[in-house]
């Protein structure tokens, strides 16, 4: 299958790079500056699973002239609108769009533009970031990609997508409850992002001070309550696992928003916190910690633009 990876950043670059390394037919749709960087030095991955330098196929938006079988979309939420305009010519009648963005708003945006038919749901779990040299650095050893039909059923196209993506070095799985999986990840990211960004520390630093663990668990309860009110209640097993993560002494666990914050980079405050906060407000779910973190990061985001 012809796979178009939209962007070659920390997430798309990692998964797309591993696919290309394994010999899949992968093309990266990138901005001219990133294309120049990769052509000069290669797509470089630094990882506990093995370093790699790949010389992938690259195109820019003006080069998209035919449909692809899979469009893998992993851009940051604030880059979604521009990315859609760039890859739209690559979407044909049989194209599958596999987005792995954070939150749920992107699904509504994509459906509005392309309809529901081409969409799969997706969840990726990986901790990566670009360093100053443009290398993709993997910060922890977990790396998984989960995908499924929004209706929760098996389908021939899902089987074909699974065949194209599996067996290349990262974990893959087909889900028959992908929307719940996506909400679960949202709850995890929002609660972790709320507490680490609000208190400016990793989980180990937060739980080491009086009241830190209590606030962490309170953030999780708020986010889980919104998810449940929206029709996607997290399971008891999921909540127990997240409670354990948020109370682990000495843990270096942080959120991607916190890592972006410490680098003075843009943060996905609207997609991860703002959208969840608004859904909770409409359903009258009290979320004071979520609101405090949203306001805090919104002030930071505005200050970056001045």
**Catalytic amino acids?**
185
Helix axes 212-229, 288-304, angle to 10 degrees: 100
Q: Tell me if residue 189 falls in helix, strand or coil.
A: helix
Measured distance CA(208)–CA(200) in Å, rounded: 13
Structure tokens at 86: 């760039």
Query: Residues of 176-206 as b/e, b for ≥16 C-beta within 10 angstroms?
Result: eebbbbbbbbbbbbbbbbbbbbbbebbbebb
- DSSP of 112-141: HHH-STTB-EEEEEEEEEE-TTS-EEEEEE
Measured distance CA(4)–CA(6) in Å, rounded: 6
Q: Which of 7, 10, 6, 14 is nearest to 265 (CA)?
A: 10
Measured distance CA(46)–CA(135) in Å, rounded: 7
By the 10 Å C-beta count (0-12 exposed, 13-18 middle, 19+ buried), 221 is classed as: middle
Measured distance CA(172)–CA(25) in Å, rounded: 18
């Amino acid at each position: 299958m012809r796979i178009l990876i939209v962007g070659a950043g920390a997430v798309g670059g990692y998964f797309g790079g591993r696919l290309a390394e394994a010999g899949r037919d992968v093309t990266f749709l990138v901005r001219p500056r990133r294309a120049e960087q990769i052509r000069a030095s290669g797509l470089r991955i630094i990882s506990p699973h093995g370093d790699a330098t790949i010389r992938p196929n690259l195109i820019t938006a003006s080069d998209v002239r035919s449909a692809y079988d899979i469009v893998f979309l992993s851009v940051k939420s604030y880059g979604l609108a521009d990315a859609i305009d760039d890859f739209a010519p690559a979407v044909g009648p049989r194209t599958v769009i596999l987005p792995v963005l954070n939150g749920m708003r992107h699904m509504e945006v994509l459906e509005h533009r392309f309809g529901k038919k081409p969409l799969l749901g997706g969840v990726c779990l990986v901790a990566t970031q670009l360093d100053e040299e443009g290398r993709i650095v993997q910060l922890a050893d977990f790396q998984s990609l989960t995908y499924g039909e929004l209706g929760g059923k098996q389908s021939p196209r899902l089987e074909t997508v699974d065949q194209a993506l599996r067996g290349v070095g990262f974990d893959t799985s087909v889900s028959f409850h992908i929307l719940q999986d996506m909400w679960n990840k949202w709850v995890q990211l929002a609660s972790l992002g709320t507490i680490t960004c609000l208190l400016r520390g990793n989980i180990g630093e937060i739980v080491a001070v009086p009241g830190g663990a209590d606030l962490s668990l309170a953030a999780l309860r708020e986010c889980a309550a919104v998810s449940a009110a929206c029709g996607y209640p997290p399971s008891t097993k999921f909540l127990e696992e997240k409670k354990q993560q948020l109370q682990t002494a000495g843990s270096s666990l942080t959120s991607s928003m916190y890592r972006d914050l410490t680098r003075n980079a843009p943060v996905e405050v609207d997609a991860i916190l703002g959208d969840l906060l608004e859904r909770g407000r409409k359903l009258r779910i009290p979320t004071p910690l979520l609101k405090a973190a949203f306001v805090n990061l919104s002030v930071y985001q505005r200050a970056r633009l001045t």
